[in-house]
Amino acid sequence: MEKNINVKLKIWRQRGPKAKGEFKTYEMKDIPTDTSFLETMDILNEELISRGEEPIVFDHDCREGICGMCSLYINGHPHGPATGATTCQMYMRRFADGETITVEPWRSAGFPVIRDLMVDRSAYDKIMQAGGYTSVNTGAPQDANAILIPKDVADEAMDAAACIGCGACVAACKNGSAMLFVSAKVSQLNLLPQGKPEAAKRAKAMLAKMDELGFGNCTNTRACEAECPKCVSISHIARLNRHFIGAKLKD
Amino acid sequence: MWLFTSSVGRKVVMSVTGLALILFITFHMAMNLVAIFSAEGYNMVCEFLGANWYALVATVALAGLVFIHFAYAFWLTWLNRQARGNQRYAVTSKPKAVEWASQNMFVLGLIVILGLLLHLFNFWFNMQFAEIMHKDLVDMGGGALIAPHDGAAFIAYTFSKVWYVVLYLVWLCALWFHLTHGFWSALQTLGWNNQIWIERWRVISYVYSSIIIGGFALVVVWFYVKSLL
């Protein structure tokens, strides 16, 4: 049942990467519970603009849970209290009338704040550039069905490929580790025959890049898996460990 | 060297030393149980593991394992705090699937180390160390004199004191929590895991930790009750 609720938004405001940030509380009146969280943010920004204040900076793009841009840490959860959903897929019916909702940016050394709720996630791009690809010759591609892949392997690779690279795993991790992301990206390629020739190199290169960019050491708390909007499993982390250790022992 | 420079390498060191220590406490627990059945049998074990060259080599190796596990724990915790960034979250929550122990391994480890120091003072110092110093009898105060290889007497003496019983049980409790996460986590780090085995390893971790800690606790409680009779 749709109804209107009043909420208080306690939002992190920070002018720039070096500036000192602080929380500011905004009262929101008569928000229909069918409004998505990002639409509520839009309503707030419209009000701020009409009052002549600076609107709140936050990342968003597709608003249908596939681009991985939205990145708010809401009431102690990356992407809010909903499970298996991104911030843009979460609606105001998740919150009670009169509730104070705390909204923070991802907090991790690997993801420095750019402004307000927007963080710099280009570290993930750098990790992808280190090995998240397959090298192929250009020219006429062969038929896709020429390489047979067992269904369970294809499914596992697809589950890994569901990772949208939003950074919720790092945001949730008490160690600021990016292992869930890196392992999903390594898995989606290493599982398939096309990715196998570069599997060992990929595991080493992507992990080395992750370490270099200041992400932490995984301690298997499983917080990443629990908060991942795509429910990526830590079994991929085990696979990355296996491929990495195997590659190092062979060297 | 990848065991120092890569995150997975550092974790492999934690896993391997951790698993070796689990193997050690398994033997330790089994030997302790002997004391319940036969004081003589237990003292034979004590004599075998006294100040002999092989027992001393093993003791040094064991101390090395503990030191590496401990040093890496400090190092990794420090690195991970840095990776977390300077600004902390104002609101945090623990998802249901996250075990409490998994987020408090360092604190639990510190309790284990403190308990270990007490344990070394209670037993190792009076037994193997006393033998190294060529002491024939150890004065426990209050006129109690115990020979260094008379392990059964040390057990009976220590666990007749209720504060030692309490401290040891708290220590074992912390170790139980530490093991429930540490066991399966070590295998996960070594890559020996998948969707099916993760739940199996977790159950095995809980069962195995409970058996080991149960065995240790049984000896403590057994000798306390015995001292009351």
Mean pLDDT of B23-38: 96
- Count CA atoms closer than 13 A to A224's CA, side-chain side: 30
Backbone angles phi, psi at A42, to 5 degrees: -65, -45
Can you tell me the mean pLDDT for B129-139? 88
> A130 and A225: one domain?
yes
* A230 within domain boundaries: yes
Chain B residues closer than 8 Å to A217 by CB: 7, 10-11, 76, 79-80, 83
Chain A's closest residue to B85, CA to CA, is A109
Residues A151 and A37 in one domain: no
Cα(B128)–Cα(B132) distance, rounded to whole angstroms?
6
Question: Do A84 and A126 reside in the same domain of the chain?
Answer: no
From B11, B84, B189, residue closest to A109, measured CB to CB: B84
Same domain assignment for residues A164 and A244 = yes
Q: In this structure, is residue A140 part of a structural domain?
A: no
Domain check: are A67 and A11 in the same one?
yes
Q: Residues A193-216: what's their mean pLDDT?
A: 96
Look at chain A and report how many structural domains it folds into.
2
Q: What is the CATH number of the domain that holds A62?
A: 3.10.20.30
Residue with tokens 């597709």: A62
Question: B145-196 pLDDT, tens per residue?
Answer: 898 889 999 999 999 999 999 999 999 999 999 999 999 999 999 999 999 9
Could you give the ipTM of this predicted complex? 0.92
Q: What is the CATH number of the domain that holds A230?
A: 1.10.1060.10
Domain boundaries, chain B: 15-69+99-228
Q: Is A141 part of any domain?
A: no
Which residues make beta-bridge pairs with A103?
A11, A74
Contact A241, A196 (CB under 8 A): no
Strand residue runs (E) in chain B: 138-139, 145-146
β-strands A100-104, A77-78 pairing: unpaired
Q: Are A95 and A179 members of one domain?
A: no
A1: confidence class by pLDDT, cuts 50, 70, 90: low
Residue A233 lies in a domain: yes
Beta bridge partners of A27: A8
pLDDT for the residue numbered A2: 81
Together in a domain, A200 and A229:
yes
Do A77 and A164 lie in a common domain?
Answer: no
What spatial distance separates the first Cα and last Cα of chain B, rounded to whole Å? 58
Q: Are A130 and A144 in contact (CB under 8 A)?
A: no
Instruction: Output A34 or A144, whichever has higher pLDDT.
Output: A34
Mutate which: A241, A249, A251, vs B, most B CBs within 10 A? A241
Classify residue A228: in a domain, yes or no: yes
> Which tens digit of pLDDT belongs to each residue from B73-110?
999 999 999 999 989 999 999 898 899 999 999 999 99
Whole-number Å distance between alpha carbons of A103 and A79: 10
Confidence check: pLDDT of B198 > 90: yes
CB contact under 8 A, A109 and B91: no
Range of the domain at A77: 4-114
Measured between CA atoms, the residue of chain A closest to residue B102 is A221
Q: How many CB atoms lie within 10 A of CB B85?
A: 18
